[in-house]
Chains A and B, each alone.
Chain A
Amino acid sequence: MAAKRKTPMKTRNPDLIRGVGKYSRSKMYHKRGLWAIKAKNGGVFPRHDAKPKPPAAAEKPPKFYPAEDVKKPLLNKRKPKPTKLRASITPGTVLILLAGRFMGKRVVFLKQLTSGLLLVTGPFKINGVPLRRVNQSYVIATSTKVDISGVNVEKFDDKYFSKEDKKKLPEDKKEDQKAVDASLIKSIEGVPDLKAYLAARFSLKSGMKPHELVF
């Protein structure tokens, strides 16, 4: 077979209405240049005979035939879409964690990783939450934002969080934590009470109705 074209063939015969072309068969013969191809090939249209294929290896009959016909599972070409980030969550948003050992802690959102998980940090000095991945579903986004312009989060991705040594935290990860938190803490201390806010845990008190609270 001839090689496939990158763009599909645009027809040289525009439709007057559906089913009726502008040019007749003889005009189209001339437009396609079949006369020029024939002239180049000495009056006959060039033929390409099929290339001789190497003989296929003799297939042995299978040793085992199943008693009943085995059904093949249906083909699944589904590709999952990237996780959609809630509009209320932007870099620098203060989030409230709802589950896990840091339940109730208020943390700063840094960025969304390619796996869809959110990268957050306490900052560690303020509330003990390190650079951590967290699922969007286990988080309440508040409307409070922290200035995050001085922080470089390019180097963090999902591979960074795979653990080689599960007992001890390597020194360079501690350095990364300090680097990220340095400028964050400066912008946090610029807002009155924000440091104490991030240090405190969130809890529902008597009379608080979650569906009526504004976060």
Chain B
Amino acid sequence: MYPFKRYVEIGRVALVNYGKDYGKLVVIVDVVDQNRALVDAPDMVRSQMNFKRLTLTDIKIDINRVPKKKTLIDPMEKACVKNKWENSSWGRKLIVQKRQASLNDFGRFKLMLAKIKKAGMVRQELAKLKKEIAA
């Protein structure tokens, strides 16, 4: 139908993809002009950011334009933004990426063994199913 599903609006949660706050989840609290938004997060000073530095997420919370910090934190807690993010497939992927990047050499070795084992089990099941179909 419409080509866009996620809109820039007050209360839209976005992921910062460039700069000092890389990887943080922020809430758009106001729009400055065509290119910039005022963003805020519980652990950050409210600041302006170019839209090019933001990637919009599916999460939106219900706030007025430029709320005070307390009035920002309460709806965020109620809507469980952090939970929704960590349970979404995008959020889970980022968490796994971070964990894999911090693995030490032994951890990477164990990961390789686990991947091989899992692939072996999948291949076994597949072979079983193929045999059933052939029979």
Binding site for B on A (CB under 8 A): 94, 96, 106, 142-144, 193-194, 196-197, 200, 202, 212-215
Contacts and interface: CB of A to CB of B under 8 A. Distances in A.
A196 B102 CA distance: 21
Nearest to B112: A200
B113 to A, nearest CB: 6
B101 A215 contact: no
Contacts of A94: 105-106
A212 B113 CA distance: 22
Interface in B64-111: 101-106, 109-110
A73 B70 CA distance: 77
B23 to A, nearest CB: 15
Contact of B106 (A144, A212, A213): A144
A142 B109 contact: no
Interface string B103-135: 111100110010000000000000000000000
Contacts of A213: 105
Given A142-B106, A196-B109, 5 more contacts: A142-B105, A193-B109, A197-B109, A213-B105, A214-B103
A193 B113 contact: yes
Contacts of A194: 106
A193 B106 CA distance: 9
Interface of B: 101-106, 109-110, 113
Contacts of B102: 214
Contacts of A143: 104-105
B101 A197 contact: no
A142 B103 CA distance: 11
Nearest to A200: B109
A196 B113 contact: yes
B120 to A, nearest CB: 15
B127 to A, nearest CB: 26
Nearest to B110: A193
A197 B103 CA distance: 15
Contact of A214 (B104, B110, B113): B104
Contacts of A106: 105
B114 to A, nearest CB: 10
29 contacts: A94-B105, A94-B106, A96-B105, A106-B105, A142-B104, A142-B105, A142-B106, A143-B104, A143-B105, A144-B105, A193-B106, A193-B109, A193-B110, A193-B113, A194-B106, A196-B109, A196-B113, A197-B106, A197-B109, A197-B110, A200-B109, A202-B105, A212-B101, A213-B105, A214-B101, A214-B103, A214-B104, A215-B104, A215-B105
